[in-house]
Amino acid sequence: MDISGLEIVLFHSDNSDYLTEWNGTRLNDDYHRLYFIAGGSAEVTYDGHHCQLAEGRTYLFPTTRRFDYSCPSHLRLLNVCFKMTVQGGIDVLDLYPWSFEIQAQSASETFRSMTMIDENLTSEFFADQILVRSRILSLLSPHFRTRAKHRDLKRQRDVRRMAPVLRHIADNLRTGVKISELHLLAGMSRSHFVRKFQATFDVSPQDYVRKKRITLVKNELHSSDLPLSILAEDLGFSSSSHMSREFKHYTGYSPKKFRALDKIYG
């Protein structure tokens, strides 16, 4: 798979000591988490998978529908929340085999890298942003030292064929995507395209576009304080109420509630 279109979008970082107050639930977070446990321990359940987080290890979480977390006594946590995609917005964790848990080869070096990421994540200097991304990639690399199986290679071929469609969707989310014309970009009949798209991404082309638009709303809610009416207009929704209905349908939160939780969590 060609990774020339690799993109990393950064959201949050953390470098904190916690007691039992590290406890809660997050719903429908469309980003990855990289955790390094520098001290103590924690428990996490994501989409039904329960895991114990131990000192000296890094953990890579996929996007989640539900993320429950708790600390039994104390925890020193360094983490970064980000989204890594290729081929016009395809989640890397959906394409390549990866490991959830890795023993840090050097706890001190991992600690320094995670600290540097936290200190420079919001820097306005381009040099710092390059450094942050290089450190993230270095920390992520050991999680992907897994040989691809036949099903992984088949999915990569299927996604490659859909790449022109995905790029078109990514480039036109704000201005509008004509679902009825997407099959032409894939070089397929309309019925075959819909079946192939559904089989490849486990979602219809219509729902894929709608979910991508909601992700765009999430990013704007995170990065700006613009009124919802302005965001709705800028993102191509017919009204703020239309945007709010769509947003709550896919996330479980209203945009206002999501923005408030996002500020707390960030």
Decide if 10 contacts 59 (C-beta within 8 A).
no
Is 44 a residue whose pLDDT tops 60?
yes
Buried residues in 116-143 as b, exposed as e (16+ CB within 10 A):
ebbebbeeeeeeebebbbebbeebbeeb
Is 81 a residue whose pLDDT tops 70?
yes
pTM: 0.80
What are the pLDDT digits (tens) for 188-247?
Answer: 999 999 999 999 888 999 999 998 889 889 888 877 888 999 989 888 888 999 999 999
At residue 132, the pLDDT reads 96
Q: Please tell me whether residue 82 adopts helix, strand or coil conformation.
A: strand
What are the pLDDT digits (tens) for 101-123?
Answer: 999 989 999 999 999 999 999 99
Determine the straight-line distance between the first and last CA of the chain, rounded to whole angstroms: 33
At residue 263, the pLDDT reads 59
At residue 266, the pLDDT reads 45
- Give the separation between CA 48 and CA 66, rounded to whole angstroms: 8
Decide if 61 contacts 32 (C-beta within 8 A).
yes
At residue 2, the pLDDT reads 58
Q: Which range is least confidently modeled, 79-88, 160-169, 177-186, 256-265?
A: 256-265
User: What is the pLDDT of the chain when averaged over all its residues?
Assistant: 90
Specify whether the backbone of 3 is left (phi greater than 0), alpha (psi in -120 to 50) or beta.
Answer: alpha
Query: What pLDDT band is residue 258 in, cutting at 50, 70 and 90?
Result: confident
